[in-house]
Amino acid sequence: MSESTAARQGEKQYILALDAGGTMTDAILVKPDGSFTVGKSISRREDEPLSYRESTTDAATQIGISIEDVHRMCGADIYCGTGMLNTILTGTGRKLGLLVSRGFEDITVMEGGLSYLGQSQAEALHQQLHKHTTPLIDPKNVHGISERLGGGCYQGNIHLPPGTSLIPLHEDQVRAATHALLNEEVEVIGILFLYSFVDPVHEHQAKALCQAVLQERGVDIPIVCSADVAPVSKENNRLKSLLFQCFAAEQVRESLLTVETQAQEYGYNGRLLTLLSYGGAVNMEYPRLYETMISGPIGGLIGAQFVAEQLGLDNVVTADMGGTSFDVGLVMDKRIGITKSADIAGHRLALPMVELDSVGSGAGSVVYVDEYRRLHVGPESAGARVGICFEYDRLTVTDINVALGYVDPDYFLGGHMRLDRDKALAALEESVAKPLGLNIYEAGAGVLDIVNTEMNDLLRTMVAAKGYDTHDFTLLYYGGAGPVHMYGFAEGIEFADVITLPWAAGFSAFGAACAEYMHRYDRGSRLLIPNGLSEDELSDVARQIRTAWESLETEARTEMEQEGIDPTTLTFRYGVSAHYIGQLESFDTSLPNGNMDGPADIARLIEAFETMYTKVYPAGARFPDAGYALTTVNLEAVAPKPQPSLPKHKLSGIQPDPSAYVETRDIYHKNAWTPFKV
């Protein structure tokens, strides 16, 4: 399509999606007929709008139109960045103050004893002194407030009902603490009380008192309640969600708005979207922006779910190898697995997240031999500087791929970057071959074998640990380095099939284009369904669930209307988190509809829970005699959004068309130089 042709088109018919990874920023431009093109640029954390512009321009140029035409004709623009994670890792967020229930002043230091989070497998297997994750708040800025609501009892209503006020909020302590925090020049105040997920009344009361003090002193800073950020049980995880929102979210919102401004300057008249950690797209006004903490890898699983639907595949294992990590996920029965809590940068959050297993081995991982002649790969990564062959000062996996012929040094990033194979060979010899007393090519092949074996083990473990059989799964591999290493990490595992895609390098961005415009809402619960309840008692439980859903629907309509969504276009999906009474962990249970009027609907809820439970555990692990506890009532609100479509073509012969071949290149493969047609 030429530029003049595009300019004559009158509809918003393009979808633009970008994935700003640690090494590359990939852009997918979906055209009106469902076909698409991929653009790439180097990721620049210090200048995200520049990477956005370069990758979008690259995609637009390939189909002969301008970046201005793309944005004028764009129906949806999705951007997945790493700014929030970088803010957490570098500790460059806002200065925080925190009000907590009295007696919990040390909660930010104790953090549930999860000091092992973020350690490598080797570190976790050896006893050692653990270091706490660098705190996001100075302990002196944490103030205890006398208050307490009753949290109910797991064994039934044998104590006071949940939400009963046991100790009134001490208002003078709130005022004094607010003055003290303002004297410390904090930039945001968070409030976390123990049972606010049952009833947020004390948190909201404290927020009003804080706002009065701020007004009195002429100060304007945000005040954030945990009940408004993550109204769920487990106060340590809820605290982390609150801290992430206070420390990083507002600051990163400003950064994302600069990318949105860039898009609008090119003619885009909509709102820039980004991905939530559990799937779904939202714009920059989303109040719980910390939920977008990990968005890039999520796109790949959303894309895999879309492709599985198109190809009629029920079960898919995804393998995503980029510059900094290797991520493995599962699509089961065409559904993406969701975990109830997310471990990010040494913190565990109360955040539903697409279930992924990762290792810190990517194409940019540093390779070295220590003083004991032990070979190490990662976790340090060159990121956008690639390796010795480009701008980094240490040997990486990409250097070895270049040295052995797997990567064409003259066609990296579509020919926009030239790599230096001679420097890669010299570094491989100096860093690995000589210390180990090996031939340079044998040394390189050995490193790749180690990398591929680690990935192979992760693939096996991800499937086997959940009790599944690899024969029931199709392996889908993608990412900038996925197809290069596919021969190694799929070897010896009997999958039903192994597939990739022509746009594998930009597949996570493609997945972002496939995401729904969706918000998820959770409401903490203490509802119990023990055996032997009367019909009236079951009807009362149904009424409480229905009331919670109705409240969440109202919240969704109000919030999404503020984001420019017509609330009459919303559709809703309903669910609960439940467990057997006496269990510690809850499980998300999706329900077919929002009907909840009486005992028959409670019976359908229990049946849905049992069906879900037996997909996770053997049928013998069921324990219905214990009764059921509902810990969360949840709702997903979905708004219309343009979606890509994959055109279908007739299968051609088994031999590729001769015009598809680019060159024949010698590659050191299986301990011998072998000519490969590319």
Rounded to an integer, the average pLDDT of 178-204 is 94
Helix residue ranges per DSSP H, 490-534: 507-514
pLDDT at 118: 65
pLDDT at 302: 87
> Dihedrals φ, ψ of 578, to 5°?
-145, 160
| Whether residue 321 sits in one domain with residue 428 | yes
Rounded to an integer, the average pLDDT of 638-667 is 82
450: exposed, middle or buried (C-beta count within 10 Å: 0-12, 13-18, 19+)? Answer: middle
For residue 82, what is the domain's CATH number?
3.30.420.40
pLDDT at 128: 58
- Alpha-carbon span 551 to 524, nearest angstrom: 13
Per residue in 442-486, pLDDT (tens digit) is 888 888 888 888 888 878 877 777 778 888 899 998 887 778 888
| Whether residue 229 sits in one domain with residue 160 | yes
Rounded to an integer, the average pLDDT of 583-606 is 90
For residue 228, what is the domain's CATH number?
3.40.50
| pLDDT(6) > 60 | no
* 184 token code pair: 């410390």
Pick the last residue of a domain from 512, 529, 547. 512
Per residue in 336-348, pLDDT (tens digit) is 877 777 777 778 8
| Whether residue 573 sits in one domain with residue 436 | no
Rounded to an integer, the average pLDDT of 215-221 is 94
Q: Which domain holds residue 178?
A: 93-124+134-244
| Whether residue 442 sits in one domain with residue 347 | yes
| pLDDT(9) > 80 | no
How many CB atoms within 10 Å of residue 400? 31
Angle between helices 482-489 and 440-464 (to 10 degrees): 80
CB 331 within 8 A of CB 514: no
For residue 578, what is the domain's CATH number?
3.30.1490
Strand partners, 353: 339
Per residue in 394-405, pLDDT (tens digit) is 898 888 888 888
Residue 554's pLDDT band, with cuts at 50, 70 and 90, is very high
| Whether residue 610 sits in one domain with residue 527 | yes
* 675 token code pair: 């000519």
Tell me the average pLDDT of the chain: 84
Rounded to an integer, the average pLDDT of 246-267 is 87
Rounded to an integer, the average pLDDT of 261-274 is 89
Per residue in 32-50, pLDDT (tens digit) is 776 788 888 877 777 888 8
> Dihedrals φ, ψ of 64, to 5°?
75, 30
- Alpha-carbon span 524 to 633, nearest angstrom: 7
| Whether residue 546 sits in one domain with residue 486 | no
pLDDT at 143: 97
Q: Is 92 helix (H, G, I), strand (E, B) or coil?
A: coil
- State the sign of the Cα–Cα–Cα–Cα dihedral 421, 39, 61, 252: negative
| Whether residue 506 sits in one domain with residue 573 | no
β strands within 444-569, DSSP E: 474-478, 497-499, 517-529
The conformation of residue 360, written as its DSSP 8-state character, comes to S
pLDDT at 115: 66
pLDDT at 233: 83
pLDDT at 210: 96
Specify the residue for token string 């927020």. Answer: 207
Per residue in 478-511, pLDDT (tens digit) is 887 778 888 887 788 888 888 888 888 778 888 8
Pick the last residue of a domain from 292, 323, 357. 292
pLDDT at 355: 78
Rounded to an integer, the average pLDDT of 17-38 is 80
- Alpha-carbon span 384 to 277, nearest angstrom: 24
Per residue in 47-61, pLDDT (tens digit) is 888 888 998 999 898
pLDDT at 208: 96
> Is there a domain that residue 654 lies in?
no
| Whether residue 375 sits in one domain with residue 494 | yes
- For residues 412 and 441, the model is more confident at 441
* 204 token code pair: 């909201």
Per residue in 232-243, pLDDT (tens digit) is 888 888 999 999
> Is there a domain that residue 668 lies in?
no
Greatest mean pLDDT range, 260-264, 388-392, 562-566: 260-264
Q: How far apart are the first and last CA of the chain?
A: 28
- Alpha-carbon span 672 to 678, nearest angstrom: 18
Residue 7's pLDDT band, with cuts at 50, 70 and 90, is very low
Rounded to an integer, the average pLDDT of 657-665 is 83
Residue 408's pLDDT band, with cuts at 50, 70 and 90, is confident
**Does an H or E element contain 191, and which?**
strand 188-192
Concatenate the DSSP letters of all residues of 547-559 into one string. HHHHHHHHHHHHH
| Whether residue 268 sits in one domain with residue 212 | no
What does the angle CA 257 – CA 259 – CA 260 come to, to the nearest 5 degrees? Answer: 60
> Is there a domain that residue 670 lies in?
no
pLDDT at 444: 87
- Alpha-carbon span 541 to 499, nearest angstrom: 47
> Is there a domain that residue 662 lies in?
no
Could you give the number of structural domains in the chain?
Answer: 4
- Alpha-carbon span 259 to 51, nearest angstrom: 10
Rounded to an integer, the average pLDDT of 651-664 is 82
| pLDDT(273) > 80 | yes
| pLDDT(548) > 90 | yes
pLDDT at 141: 96
> Is there a domain that residue 71 lies in?
yes
| Whether residue 564 sits in one domain with residue 491 | no
- Alpha-carbon span 289 to 559, nearest angstrom: 13
- Alpha-carbon span 68 to 74, nearest angstrom: 10
Pick the last residue of a domain from 512, 547, 567. 512
Q: Is the pTM of this model over 0.95?
A: no
State percent of the chain over pLDDT 70. Answer: 93
- State the sign of the Cα–Cα–Cα–Cα dihedral 54, 56, 61, 66: negative
- For residues 423 and 333, the model is more confident at 423
pLDDT at 134: 79
Rounded to an integer, the average pLDDT of 239-255 is 87
- Alpha-carbon span 219 to 211, nearest angstrom: 9
The conformation of residue 396, written as its DSSP 8-state character, comes to B
pLDDT at 157: 63
